[in-house]
Structure 1
Amino acid sequence: MATALRGRPAHAPGNTFFSYTPNGRKLVTAGTNGAIRIFEHGSDGEPDIIDVTSDNHTAVVATNEHFIIGCEDGEVCKYNLSTKRQDDMLTRCIGAIHDLALSPDGKWVAVASEELEVKVINVDDMTNIMSLREHTAPIKQLSFDLSGTTLTASCADGMIYAYSLSSEQPQLIRRVDGLINVLNTDSGAATRATWHPDGRAFVVPTEAKDLQVVSRSDWTRQKVFSGHKSDISALAWSPNGALLVTADLDKNLILWDVKSQKVLKTYDDVKNRILDMQFHPKDNVLSYTNTNGELFIREDFVPDEHRRLLRSDTQPAPLNNDPLAEISGNARKPATNGFSHKRTAQDDYLDDLLGPDNMSEDGDGFIEDDDGAGYAEEPNLFGKRLAHPSNGPQAKRHAAYSTWEPQLHDSFQPGSTPWKGNRRYLCLNLTGFVWTVNQETHHTVTVEFYDRQEHRDFHFTDPYRYDKACLNENGALFACPSSSQHPAIVYYRPHETWTTRVDWRTELPEGEEVTSLSLSNSCVVATTTGGYVRIYSLFGLPLKVYRQKSTPAVTCASWRDYVMTVGNGPVGGDGTTRLLYTIENVKRDEICQSEDILALPEGTELRSVLFSDKGDPCIYDSDGVLLVCQHWRTPGQARWVPLLDTRTLERLAGGKKEESYWPVAVADDRFHCIILKGGEQYPYFPRPLLSDFAFKVPVSATPDDEDESVAHQKNLEEQYVRFATQRSLLQDLVENTHATSTQKTDLAAMEGEVDKALLQLLAAECREGEERGMKALEIATLMRDRSGNMLTAASKIAQRFQHDRLSEKITELAERRMVGLVDDDDEDI
């Protein structure tokens, strides 16, 4: 199939640069003239044009909301993609801007210019600047790694400087010498260290006109791409890292297979030197700009015979002796529930190697063993055929079969994230956060607090490689998996004690691993692969060990003396297990809820379990719904009530924003979270900002075209349901604990809020007419005020709207309550 080449005159002849937005919907170009063009992906229409005051633009980067351009006069400006107007001038440098690099989360932009200093600027607060000064000459090109915590700067002196941005003071962590050319900053040859999508390595053009892969773990040289005869001018990885495309000063464009470092195709239709090049984030499209002011969008760039490589999952970086490469880095591990794996590029490669004649017609993927030679073994998950003890010269061909097994919910640690490059968060909450860095031979763990007047941050070398952590005002809790040197370990480190601070560790029995941890101000809880729940005091004294009824365990949470555990239960009609939870009071040895079903709809996964600041169990699911457990202290009475459905937030109205939310805490009657933009699934590095949203119970839909009175009434209905739920939770707390005077006062105040909401609802019904009188009376019966003041006010509201009969009924209800003839359970209106 011929490649569709689309050339567009974007700017006046001269150097032209561009950037895709992360979601791939827009492409922003900048060139020598004073106009910025914004192209819509997949559209043949004319681009939007923004006339700016500057010209001779030398770099552009973009997020989904804005773009940033650098100019020859030293200005770096941020523009809004929606309003098409300038938001800020982020900085002004003495000389021309050489390059811009945007962190993966879009929060920081690195600026290289004629100045020796590289500025890393917060795009939302331009006064928040980090400065990099360890290099001895101007920087030519910049790049962030996958986590956004490492910045590589290619210098005119022929060195690559790697800076760590994980702390407030950036640090130079490596100088890489002997790779790139000593070049002027205006040279057409590229020297950028371009990071592979799996975050473990980068590739950089060398003096020998090759492309050298460098491992970030030890900064050693790995695989090499050889084939160009002149200096490289631009390069780009495919989004999954399976392909690499490069261009040189002789106008050659080459597509590479990353795994084998072989040339897949050479394109000879390039007319001008390519300056900037990117794969589309999702589609089979390569775009590039050149020295003649043109933008080229090559659709169906990867040929059909190699397109399977582009469709595969993220591939491993081409490293020497890499175990991930042996099993095809995109191949998923065999699922314990028996579900089949997703086909990988290696599967397709083996199919091509064997040829269609060697595959069965029914697609089962086994070879015909017509001569009984015994080579028709079952393939494993990676497409290789394994010998079977019964296979031999007389072995008979047997049909492939599979057995059904239920789909289990994987265990997880609340607040923990997967590895992103060599970093991951172990814990995120309102106290602070814990993150770890993989240093190959060991890990380094950092604990940071939001209130640094109360607690001091600390950092330690971690030879045990802790993979789970909890943090609160009392201490930090860690757990590590077993290894050849030690079994699984639980480690607790208190912040302060009135005696000498004593850390403690405990080792689990051999073969047992920790699946989740929780920490309260009175106990430590660990669930394990052995099905046990192990509970310790804060001083390491074992309090309880028992086997969980619902296994395998999923997660746990704790608050004061209460512990909540979640595990896999019976199988539902969709083949997935139903999650069961248990809540107990460890101190009193009482079971509040035993193996009750966790309220999750079909196809929805549990994302987090946490206790609110008032001690109520909460869960957050993959649909973005926050639920609280009501009446959980009474056995058999618990139910899950939604407090917030994040899909209905006003900020998402109209579909203008694409974002999700990482749960952090439920406190002060608000949902605290981290906003994840675009397709992000996990919190980013450096430290993410916390956001919070008020509760809003999803009582009803709110159409955009409804009138104000209907919208107002729906808001009042939502307020009533929300206040009634909060009053119920607070009443359970007061009745079942040694409540403080403040808590009792809060309960009375919340009852007043419930009655106020009902009073406003009654007024809204009276406003609609006398025919709504029965509903208005029903609302009056829900009021809880025993003094009669609220019912008196309700009667006056009815009189104001001239509903005399309704006023009489409400007065009669008030009198009966005063003499005790009506109680809360009386249904006789």
Structure 2
Amino acid sequence: MDENVTKVFVSGGSTFVRHSAKSDFLYVCSSSILKVFDLTKPEQEPEVLDVVNGAKSFETGHNTALVASNNGECHIYDLKTLKETATLLRSPLGLTSAVFTHGGAMALCGGLDGKLQLVEIKSSEHGVKSTVDVREQIASLSYNDVGDLAAVSLANGDLAIYSYTTAEPTRLHTFSSILVDKRSVIGDADTLRADSGLPLDDDDDDMDGFDDDLDQDIANGGAPQTQPMGKDSTAKFSSVRPDWHPSGDLLAIPTRVREIVVYDRSDLSKPKFQFQSTKDGSHTKPIIDLHWSPNGKLLASVGLDNKLVVWDYKTQRSVQSFDVPMRAFSLSWNRHSDMIIIGTTSGNIIRYEVESSTSKLVSDEATEQEGDEEEEGTNEHLDIDGEKEADSNTGGSPGADSLGSEGLFGGEDDFIIDDDGAGYTENGKRSADDIHNGSGGMHKHKKVRFDNQYQGLSRLLPYSPGGTPWETSRRYLTINPVGYAWSVKQEGYNTVTVTFFDRSLHREYHFRDFNSIDIASMNGEGILLAGSAYHKSLHGSKERVKATMIFKTHDQSRNWQREIQLQPGEFLTSVSLGPNAVFACSSLGYVRRYSLYGRLERLEKMPPVVACINSSKYLVTVTYTSPYNYSFNLQDLDGKYYQRSESLPISVSVEGKRHPIRGLFFSSDGDPCIVGQDNVILVLSRWRDPLQACWVPILDANEGLRRIATGDNVTAWPLGLFKDQFNFIVVRGSEYPSFPLTLPSEMSVKLPVGDDSEGQKTEDTNEEGNGIDNDSDDQPKEKKNSGNSAEEELIRTIVQAELLNDAITNDDVEDETAEERLAALSVRYDAALLKQVGQSCNEGDISDAFYLSTKLRDDRALAAAAKMAERLELAGLVAKINRLREARMEIEEEAEEE
């Protein structure tokens, strides 16, 4: 055993150990020092970094480390440059735990003040996104990065589960008194790491000298001799930190009765199973630490009985046990799941090799249940050039050679670790041909070239309303006012989670994706997902490939999956789920209609389709015309065209943007809407009449945000249009919505006619802040801007009334208050005109005032116009308006007589 023990810190101290998830680095932290070992270069001295004193937790992410300290500070460090990056948080009381969240973009911190604080890592301000008062001291945190769930261990023995899928966390479940009660010890300054759920070395802070004698450490059990443990001492040493399974589905909890129970996140009301002790190992004293292996097949736990036990997930029993010669403090698996390293309370680390037979005992549950699907799915993610993306969070290939007894503790490791299981080329990536053929050979890196047949379509990309590209290991598949679906990369598959803004409608659910799902469509009843086969069709080969389409109802009452045989070079560009039909459109212009039961009902061919949406009656398709122009079609579900191949007024050649379309949806009154990269919301008007359709810009979202939001680099991610309110997600500091997703916001529509704020910001660009000069006395500008505001209100009212009237006439609106809204718009129309009449009267422009009066519809509005003219002593205008009223009355009387 001695050869497996390494003295890392001669001064002793409780020692954190963490392995890199992507490479062969081991991070060992103790006594305000972090040492970085390259396991492939055992002869090389470790690199050293000074960290904050009094570390209570130590976590590593993608080239970063997070340290929470008992002085209330949380620090982040760059593991490449070995420098401190920032102080994320300062708390008045000590912090006990900090973990990375949302793919490493955020950090969740908790401590003695009982507050959970979510802090931004990527932004320079490191602002606190949310704060939750849990009303109890926090002992430890564990985070599920797949489902964005936080397991919060409380000092009173409770375990609370919080959802961080949105910016406002939600408590999903509380396990009452399942953990050891630490209230008597968590605030004790001499507590042996109790407030982090792990024991501290009781002589951490009073080391009188160096101790580099391993034999003495082993003889002493790694710590000074102590009195037999009482109730409080047991509580100090007992772990209260649960651990999430790498798949994100399971949570292993060390209970107060020294059992390890496992819960499924889909049903936290009862345990899924409990690990059973066997002759191969069990714990007779409290558990100090536990962790799942990276491949999820095994669980390792170490206890105060100086035992390291390996548990098998499939059999739910212990399969291997080791004696630990000194007091353990933490444990970590290497990325190949065949070696465990334990950090002790005396500055040592101990290596244990897990028998290969043990590693092979388990056949992954997903492999058994989804084996056929996994064979079909490739889980390859490509960028727009068709090259494979670097997977920043995925571990190495499970089949790669493990370190075994080599590395830090043995002989030379002169082989290259294939971090992403993709093979290496001179430029670090495989070519597109290698990806397609599965070759890992050393070939020259090259861009994908399309055959001439497909050259013009190289700009086409799969599109989902609200969808985003991959951000490290996660992406949004679709976002709309109902909710959103998001995907997280796993080892060999993805995990898709479906979440709702109104959690009373449906319960959040998740499933494993073995089909490389990259497009989706969602409504209040279900979700439609598809693997577009985009990466399989990039090179334009003559081989036919298959796309996969999956439908799920939110209540799981009806699910189906079917494959779509595609033409050579074809891939799905968009899918749409409506109340009574499903559509799948492709890069070669095939439009396939399916029933909600997965039956093909209609097939049509048109120019290459860029995007599609459908309602209960209509289908809108956006088609590719040229590299500089898109067209649109509007037809009913049976194929009758209302508009065909009409030009779409959005910019297609938008440099640096992933897709020219930011949003495509039907308004609540059934009118098609589209949002381009300029963030102007266009609504289609008069589309039921041939050759009359026109796109009306009803809102410039960028300008609207400048009116209602503060700060720079704020954009709107479009979701929908409800009556006169634009629904969107506020995006700050990035191009796409981040994790966690903020709740939707609303903005009143306002036509971009150049109103007061726009005029002032254009002319007063030298003014600090928002550019508005509040002290300006430029009267002509005020006159013009005031007029623009009244004009905008009038035009907006006309547009809204026209849209609503068409919908009512054609029985396309479901709102029972539609008639009342139309009547209210008629009143607003006259009111907007009267404002302009008043402006013209004030300016003495009698001709303009009378012209506007002729447009007034209600006699009461005409009477009001006459009174305004009379107050300003415009007798001629009063006479004209009165004659107009009399003429209208005569016409009405004649009409009644007839």
Q: TM-score range by the shorter chain?
A: 0.5 to 0.7
Q: Indicate if the aligned counterparts of 1:628 and 1:642 stay in contact, CA closer than 8 A.
A: yes
Give the aligned partner of residue 359 of structure 2: none
Residues 640-699 of structure 1: CA deviation (Å, up to 9, x unaligned): 111211221353799941122221222242221222211x22222234322222112110
Aligned residue among 857, 860, 871 for 1:800: 871
Q: Do residues 598 (structure 1) and 648 (structure 2) align?
A: yes
Q: Residues 167-206 of structure 1 correspond to what in structure 2 (within 5 A)?
A: 176-177=332-333, 182=343, 200-201=391-392
Aligned residue among 422, 439, 443 for 2:494: 443
Q: Residues 201-600 of structure 1 correspond to what in structure 2 (within 5 A)?
A: 201=392, 215=395, 319-320=418-419, 322-323=421-422, 325-326=424-425, 328=427, 381=446, 408-481=459-532, 487-495=546-554, 501-511=557-567, 513-548=571-606, 550-551=607-608, 553-569=609-625, 571=626, 576-587=627-638, 589-600=639-650
State how far apart, in whole Å, the 1-side matches of 2:802 and 2:601 are.
32
State how far apart, in whole Å, the 2-side matches of 1:455 and 1:441 are.
29
| Count of matched residue positions in the alignment of Structure 1 and Structure 2 | 561
Q: Indicate if the aligned counterparts of 1:406 and 1:577 stay in contact, CA closer than 8 A.
A: no
Distance 1:103 1:426, change over 3 A: closer
1:582 shift after superposition: 0.1
1:559 shift after superposition: 1.4
Q: Indicate if the aligned counterparts of 2:684 and 2:693 stay in contact, CA closer than 8 A.
A: yes
Q: Do residues 714 (structure 1) and 788 (structure 2) align?
A: yes
Q: Do residues 688 (structure 1) and 688 (structure 2) align?
A: no
Letter paired with 2:109:
V
Letter paired with 1:126:
T
Q: Indicate if the aligned counterparts of 1:409 and 1:577 stay in contact, CA closer than 8 A.
A: no
Give the aligned partner of residue 817 of structure 1: 888
Letter paired with 1:640:
W
State how far apart, in whole Å, the 1-side matches of 2:883 and 2:474 are.
68
Give the aligned partner of residue 304 of structure 2: none
State how far apart, in whole Å, the 2-side matches of 1:180 and 1:219 are.
21
Q: Indicate if the aligned counterparts of 1:146 and 1:420 stay in contact, CA closer than 8 A.
A: no
Q: Indicate if the aligned counterparts of 2:465 and 2:480 stay in contact, CA closer than 8 A.
A: no
Distance 1:429 1:130, change over 3 A: farther
Residues 125-159 of structure 1: CA deviation (Å, up to 9, x unaligned): 42266999897xxx9xx9998998899x9989899
Give the aligned partner of residue 699 of structure 1: 753
- Structure 2 residues without counterparts, runs of 5 or longer: 1-52, 58-65, 76-87, 120-127, 152-195, 202-238, 253-290, 294-330, 334-338, 349-388, 409-414, 434-442, 537-542, 655-659, 761-771, 894-898
Residues 472-500 of structure 1: CA deviation (Å, up to 9, x unaligned): 12222122245899932323233469xxx
Q: Among the aligned pairs, what percent are the same residue?
A: 26
Q: Indicate if the aligned counterparts of 2:397 and 2:419 stay in contact, CA closer than 8 A.
A: no
Give the aligned partner of residue 673 of structure 2: 618
Letter paired with 1:527:
C
Q: Indicate if the aligned counterparts of 1:423 and 1:437 stay in contact, CA closer than 8 A.
A: yes
Distance 1:537 1:114, change over 3 A: closer
Letter paired with 1:804:
A
State how far apart, in whole Å, the 2-side matches of 1:817 and 1:459 are.
65
Q: Which has the higher contact order (CA 8 A, sep 6+)?
A: 2
Give the aligned partner of residue 700 of structure 2: 645
State how far apart, in whole Å, the 2-side matches of 1:699 and 1:407 are.
36
Q: Indicate if the aligned counterparts of 1:121 and 1:130 stay in contact, CA closer than 8 A.
A: no
State how far apart, in whole Å, the 2-side matches of 1:690 and 1:603 are.
29
State how far apart, in whole Å, the 2-side matches of 1:332 and 1:645 are.
42
Distance 1:711 1:161, change over 3 A: farther
Determine helix, strand or coil for the equivalent of 1:456. Answer: coil
Distance 1:92 1:186, change over 3 A: farther
Residues 745-791 of structure 1: CA deviation (Å, up to 9, x unaligned): 22121121121111122212222x21x222222322333x2x42212
Q: Indicate if the aligned counterparts of 2:576 and 2:613 stay in contact, CA closer than 8 A.
A: yes
Distance 1:184 1:429, change over 3 A: farther
1:585 shift after superposition: 1.0
Q: Indicate if the aligned counterparts of 1:516 and 1:556 stay in contact, CA closer than 8 A.
A: yes
Letter paired with 2:547:
A
Distance 1:590 1:446, change over 3 A: same
1:166 shift after superposition: 11
Determine helix, strand or coil for the equivalent of 1:696. Answer: coil
Q: Residues 34-45 of structure 1 correspond to what in structure 2 (within 5 A)?
A: none
Aligned residue among 758, 761, 765 for 2:833: 758
State how far apart, in whole Å, the 1-side matches of 2:558 and 2:67 are.
54
1:443 shift after superposition: 2.9
1:610 shift after superposition: 0.9
Q: Do residues 782 (structure 1) and 833 (structure 2) align?
A: no
State how far apart, in whole Å, the 2-side matches of 1:105 and 1:690 are.
23
1:92 shift after superposition: 4.3
Task: Tell me how large the CA RMSD over aligned residues is.
Answer: 5.3
Q: Indicate if the aligned counterparts of 1:524 and 1:537 stay in contact, CA closer than 8 A.
A: yes
Give the aligned partner of residue 746 of structure 1: 821
Give the aligned partner of residue 669 of structure 1: 724
Determine helix, strand or coil for the equivalent of 1:508. Answer: strand
Letter paired with 2:634:
I
Distance 1:655 1:455, change over 3 A: closer
State how far apart, in whole Å, the 1-side matches of 2:572 and 2:493 are.
20
Residue range with higher mean Cα deviation, 752-761 or 554-563: 752-761
Give the aligned partner of residue 862 of structure 2: 791
TM-score by length of 2: 0.53
Distance 1:464 1:380, change over 3 A: closer
TM-score by length of 1: 0.57
Residues 308-362 of structure 1: CA deviation (Å, up to 9, x unaligned): xxxxxxxxxx84474375374689979xxxxxxxxxxxxxxx9xxxxxxxxxxxx
State how far apart, in whole Å, the 1-side matches of 2:574 and 2:667 are.
19
Aligned residue among 796, 803, 807 for 1:733: 807
Determine helix, strand or coil for the equivalent of 1:791. Answer: helix
State how far apart, in whole Å, the 1-side matches of 2:431 and 2:707 are.
33
State how far apart, in whole Å, the 1-side matches of 2:419 and 2:71 are.
44
Q: Indicate if the aligned counterparts of 1:105 and 1:684 stay in contact, CA closer than 8 A.
A: no
Residues 387-408 of structure 1: CA deviation (Å, up to 9, x unaligned): xxxxxxxxxxxxxxxx996874
Determine helix, strand or coil for the equivalent of 2:499. Answer: strand
Distance 1:585 1:541, change over 3 A: same
State how far apart, in whole Å, the 2-side matches of 1:185 and 1:610 are.
62
Give the aligned partner of residue 110 of structure 1: 108
Letter paired with 1:592:
Y
1:718 shift after superposition: 1.9
State how far apart, in whole Å, the 2-side matches of 1:797 and 1:686 are.
54
Determine helix, strand or coil for the equivalent of 1:637. Answer: coil
State how far apart, in whole Å, the 2-side matches of 1:323 and 1:469 are.
27
State how far apart, in whole Å, the 2-side matches of 1:621 and 1:612 are.
16
Residue range with higher mean Cα deviation, 711-720 or 165-174: 165-174
Distance 1:185 1:474, change over 3 A: farther
Distance 1:56 1:486, change over 3 A: closer
Distance 1:528 1:603, change over 3 A: closer
1:442 shift after superposition: 2.9
Residues 369-399 of structure 1: CA deviation (Å, up to 9, x unaligned): xxxxxxxxxx984699xxxxxxxxxxxxxxx
Give the aligned partner of residue 16 of structure 1: none
Q: Indicate if the aligned counterparts of 1:408 and 1:577 stay in contact, CA closer than 8 A.
A: no
Determine helix, strand or coil for the equivalent of 2:820. Answer: helix
Give the aligned partner of residue 131 of structure 2: 126
